[in-house]
Amino acid sequence: MGKVLFMSGNDACVEGAIAAGCRFFAGYPITPANEITERMSRRMFEVNGVFIQMEDEIASICAVIGASWAGLKAMTATSGPGFSLMQEGIGYAIATETPCVIVNVQRIGPSTGSIFSQQGDVMQARWGSHGGCYENIVLSPYSIQEMFSLTIESFNLSEEFRVPVILLSEAAIGHLRERLVIPEKINIVNRRRPTVSIKDFKPFKALENEAPPMAFFGDGYRVYYTGHLHTVEGFPVLSLEKYPLAEEVLKRISSKIRLNIHRITMLDARYINDAKIIIVSYGSSARAALRAVNEARKNGIKAGYLRLITLWPFNYQKIRELCSYADVVIVAEVNNGQILYEVQRALPSKNVIPLLKLADTHTPMEVLAKIREVV
């Protein structure tokens, strides 16, 4: 076993980022993500990286994208209001295929809300940027160990697919403290670099299921980025008639994710095979669900536990397979119903019922009561 530590989710996120090779952090103060920004302000200097506190969240995501172009693994951390401000930048990172990681330690909304925990940004993380022609990757940690490991995974997926990855945490996980075991061996993925000559390099040319190699600013490839619909060379498409292949790049930024969904999907399924009732949950809600399912099993109730680690892309087929034996599926989440509707889409012929809460997290008693209600 590796080194055993005891730390908060926000602190573990920083250590995960550094282990993944993150060497640039730009951010702006916001509760409950401050511990990430504060720890980064010390740790980045210790690992020869860059920390900067920008003038707002808009500037933070832009600086992160710029640093990524210059070759560094870069991230920012925020909460709901700041996440909203970053949406234009996130869309730009998707369009320019810029790897970066955005941590959103969710708090209650709408608007300023308060510092209470909530899981309200699930749909914003998926659809928050304008122009719906995109796919992205959103991961949900439920423990301090996962704040560490999923931050690394966020960087790895981001580097492989050249896409911003959103680590959708919550106040309830960011401020929780738990045992963290630092593994002795950590798998790290780095973005591919071009191997062809400068003359032959097409910055946005790749197979439909992959991201193109990335040249860094200063490498001599003289790359041009734009948020415009662009050709494989990277230049704006000014006329759809003149560039009939204009949609090639636009299609690929979705297909590179869709065609790899089996590799991106992470699920945690327990007691599933004989379960008549399955609780689907994620993040902090899953902690209560797990305890409730453990209790139910002790009492002879055939309850199952299915936790979504990858929220987006949503793997409808996999959910369908795992829930095939169940009669009732309960979706527990802390919002007005977001993942609920995706589960209903995945299971059109099943009884999918909500167990919603508007703030904080579920308690095991609440989940257990719902299980007993539907037995």
Partner 1 sequence: MHLLSNIIRTERLPHEFCPGCAIGQVYHYAAKAVEELGINMDKVVFLSGIGCNSRGVGYVRFDSATTLHGRAIAFATGVKLANPNLTVIVVTGDGDGAGIGGNHLIHAARRNIDLTVILYNNRVYASTGGQLAPTTPYGMYTSTTPYGSLEEPFDLCSLVAAAGAVYVARWTTAHPYKAINSIKKGVLKKGFSFIEIIGQCPTYFGRYILKTTDPVKCLKWLIENSIMKESTSKIPAEELSNKIVVGEFVDKDRPELTEQYRILREKLKLQLV
Partner 2 sequence: MERFEVRIVGVGGQGIRIAGIILATAAVIDGLFATHWPSYGVEARGGPSISDIVTSKEEIDYPRVSAADVLVALNQEMLTKYLNSLKPNGLLILDSNLTMVDSKYKNITIKRAPLINTAKRIGEYSIVNMIMLGVLVNSTRIVSVESMIKSIREATGLDKNIEAFKLGLKL
Q: Binding residues for partner 1, per CB under 8 A?
A: 24, 26, 45-46, 48, 50, 52, 54-56, 58-60, 62-72, 74, 88-89, 92, 96, 216-228, 235-236, 238
Among 22, 93, 211, 288, binds partner 2 (CB under 8 A): 288
Among 177, 202, 258, 263, binds partner 2 (CB under 8 A): 177
- Give 302's contacts (C-beta < 8 A, 6+ positions apart): 271, 274, 275, 276, 277
Q: Report the nearest approach of partner 1 to the CB of residue 215 (Å).
A: 8
Which residue, 9 or 89, is less far from partner 2 as judged by CB? 9
- Could you say which of partner 2, partner 1, none residue 219 binds, taking C-beta under 5 to 8 angstroms by partner kind? partner 1
- Could you say which of partner 1, partner 2, none residue 365 binds, taking C-beta under 5 to 8 angstroms by partner kind? partner 2
Question: By rule CB under 8 A, what string of x and - marks binding of each residue 85-124 to partner 2?
Answer: -----------------------------xx---------
Cα separation, 197 vs 338, in Å, equals: 47
- Give 136's contacts (C-beta < 8 A, 6+ positions apart): 90, 94, 125, 126, 163, 164, 165, 166, 257, 312
The identity of residue 222, as a single letter, is: R
Which residue, 6 or 45, is less far from partner 1 as judged by CB? 45
Cα separation, 214 vs 366, in Å, equals: 49
Cα separation, 84 vs 177, in Å, equals: 27
Burial class (CB in 10 A: 0-12, 13-18, 19+), 54: middle
Token readout for 218 is 């200063």
Q: Report the nearest approach of partner 1 to the CB of residue 73 (Å).
A: 10
Strands 277-281 and 50-53: unpaired
Which residue, 66 or 364, is less far from partner 2 as judged by CB? 364
Stretch that binds partner 2, among 48-56, 57-65, 150-158, 359-367 (CB under 8 A): 359-367
Q: Report the nearest approach of partner 1 to the CB of residue 192 (Å).
A: 18
Residue by residue, DSSP assigns 35-79 as HHHHHHHHHHHHTT-EEEE-SSHHHHHHHHHHHHHTT-EEEEEE-
- Could you say which of partner 1, partner 2, none residue 176 binds, taking C-beta under 5 to 8 angstroms by partner kind? partner 2
Residue by residue, DSSP assigns 243-274 as -TTTHHHHHHHHHHHHTTHHHH--EEEES-TT
- Could you say which of partner 1, partner 2, none residue 301 binds, taking C-beta under 5 to 8 angstroms by partner kind? none
CA 3 to chain centre: 26
User: Is 366 a binder of partner 2 (CB under 8 A)?
Assistant: no
Other beta carbons within 10 angstroms of residue 150's beta carbon come to 27
- Could you say which of partner 1, partner 2, none residue 349 binds, taking C-beta under 5 to 8 angstroms by partner kind? none
Q: How many residues bind partner 2 (CB under 8 A)?
A: 19
Token readout for 168 is 């959708």
- The size of the chain, in residues, is 375
Q: Report the nearest approach of partner 2 to the CB of residue 290 (Å).
A: 4
Report which of 81, 130, 125 is spatially closest to residue 101, judged by C-alpha positions. Answer: 125
What are the Cα distances from residue 51, in Å, to 4, 22, 240? 27, 11, 42
The residue behind tokens 């409950």 is 32
Q: Report the nearest approach of partner 2 to the CB of residue 10 (Å).
A: 12
- Could you say which of partner 2, partner 1, none residue 226 binds, taking C-beta under 5 to 8 angstroms by partner kind? partner 1
Among 196, 358, 365, 369, binds partner 2 (CB under 8 A): 365
Stretch that binds partner 2, among 74-82, 124-132, 151-159, 361-369 (CB under 8 A): 361-369
User: Is 179 a binder of partner 2 (CB under 8 A)?
Assistant: yes
User: Is 34 a binder of partner 2 (CB under 8 A)?
Assistant: no
Which residue, 248 or 268, is less far from partner 2 as judged by CB? 268
Cα separation, 160 vs 263, in Å, equals: 11
Residues that bind partner 2 (CB under 8 A): 4, 6, 114-115, 172, 175-179, 287-288, 290-291, 294, 361, 363-365
